[in-house]
Amino acid sequence: KHALNIVKMKKMKREGEPLTMITAYDYPSAKLAEEAGIDVLLVGDSLGNVMLGYDTTIPVTTEDIVYHTRAVARAAQHTFIVADLPFMTYHGSIDETLRTVRRIMQEGHAHAVKMEGGAEIAPTVEAIVRAGVPVLGHIGLTPQSVNQIGGYRIQGKDEADARRLLEDAKELERAGVFGIVLELVTEEVAGAITAEISVPTIGIGAGRKVDGQVLVFHDVLKYASDYREKRFVKTYADIGSQIRTGISDYVSEVKSKAFPEEKHVFAAEDGVLDNLYG
């Protein structure tokens, strides 16, 4: 199976075939998502929240993105991989921005980068695209600007906001993005943007009138100790409680000496193992 590419993604939009995207941050999650048939993997800076325990995506560094993207790329060799550009790494000089993009592509092995922002970042998007790197836009609620926005607010609620979002989407398309993530945007405005641009829109909390959906891996699977319900998420498994139960069973069995059993034990005639971990 060959990885999807940005030409095929545009064709999917024209043909009305929804794009599926999920975040992935490590080897097993990326491998499992690929096996499950996902179209696109996103090494999102949401890894700051769900993998590293930060409150926001702001502390996430280029180092973090490269490290996690490498693990994802080792696992998913037949899936299109997008990696987030971290907070404030694309607002200085173009040279500095391109150096960061180079690292994420060459050391992380991503196929594309994603950046938050509208018309104001269009010249930067253009420079990255001109360097041969596909760029995914991201407008609506942009978590890297949470301190400026003042919380995780639904976007596109009034006429002026809706018009600004549509203008941003068109500017990004002109700058050469291959798609745009719409986060926490009203269904009506997301639908209007989707109808106005030729590249796919990928929604998260943006309703049904978009070209694809993206969710965070840990949300889809309830992979957390204290999973908090979100209106825009549907959960498809409850991995968190399965992990807790599995580990607590292991703890009990070691304490009670039920594990290891006879079959887990080596004797002198045993030799080499096929594998050690995983």
Instruction: Output the smallest distance, CB 63 to Na ion, in A.
Output: 16
Distance CA 192, CA 176 (A): 19
Residue 209 assigned ligand-binding role = no
168 binds Na ion (CB under 5 A): no
For residues 96-119, one letter each, b for 16 or more C-beta atoms within 10 angstroms of the residue's C-beta and e for the rest, the string is ebbebbebbbebbbbbbbbbbbbb
Residue reference for tokens 């922002």: 117
Instruction: Output the smallest distance, CB 136 to ligand KIV, in A.
Output: 9
Q: The tokens of 224 are what?
A: 């957390």
Residues 71-90, one symbol each (x = binds Na ion by CB under 5 A, - = not), give -------------x------
183 binds Na ion (CB under 5 A): no
Stretch that binds Na ion, among 39-47, 89-97, 185-193, 260-268 (CB under 5 A): 39-47
Q: Please say whether the beta carbons of 176 and 122 come within 8 A.
A: no
Residue reference for tokens 């592509």: 105
What does the binding site for ligand KIV look like in residue numbers (CB under 6 A)? 23, 42, 44-46, 84, 181, 183, 204, 214, 216
Distance CA 19, CA 178 (A): 13
Distance CA 153, CA 71 (A): 32
Comparing CB distances to ligand KIV, the nearer of 12 and 233 is 233
Q: Please say whether the beta carbons of 182 and 139 come within 8 A.
A: yes
Residue 114 assigned ligand-binding role = yes
Comparing CB distances to ligand KIV, the nearer of 57 and 277 is 57
- Per partner kind, with CB cut-offs from 5 to 8 A, the member of Na ion, ligand KIV, none near residue 22 is none
Comparing CB distances to Na ion, the nearer of 86 and 156 is 86
Q: Please name the residues in contact with 205: beta carbons below 8 A apart, sequence gap of 6 or more.
A: 141, 154, 183, 184, 185, 230, 231, 232
Q: Which of 63, 183, 188, 253 is catalytic?
A: 183
Out of 45, 64, 211, 219, the only residue in the binding site for Na ion (CB under 5 A) is 45
Residue 262 assigned ligand-binding role = no
Instruction: Output the smallest distance, CB 257 to Na ion, in A.
Output: 46
Comparing CB distances to ligand KIV, the nearer of 28 and 246 is 28
- My answer on whether omega of the bond before 260 falls inside 30° of 0, hence cis, is yes
- Per partner kind, with CB cut-offs from 5 to 8 A, the member of Na ion, ligand KIV, none near residue 216 is ligand KIV
Q: Select from 32, 31, 100 the least CA-distant residue to 60.
A: 100
Residue 145 assigned ligand-binding role = no
The torsion angles phi and psi of 119, rounded to 5 degrees, stand at: -50, -35
- The verdict on whether 183 is a catalytic residue reads yes
Q: The tokens of 25 are what?
A: 């941050």
Residue 116 assigned ligand-binding role = yes
Enumerate binding residues for Na ion (CB under 5 A). Answer: 44-45, 84
Which residues are annotated binding-site positions for 3-methyl-2-oxobutanoate?
45-46, 84, 114
Tell me the catalytic residues. Answer: 183
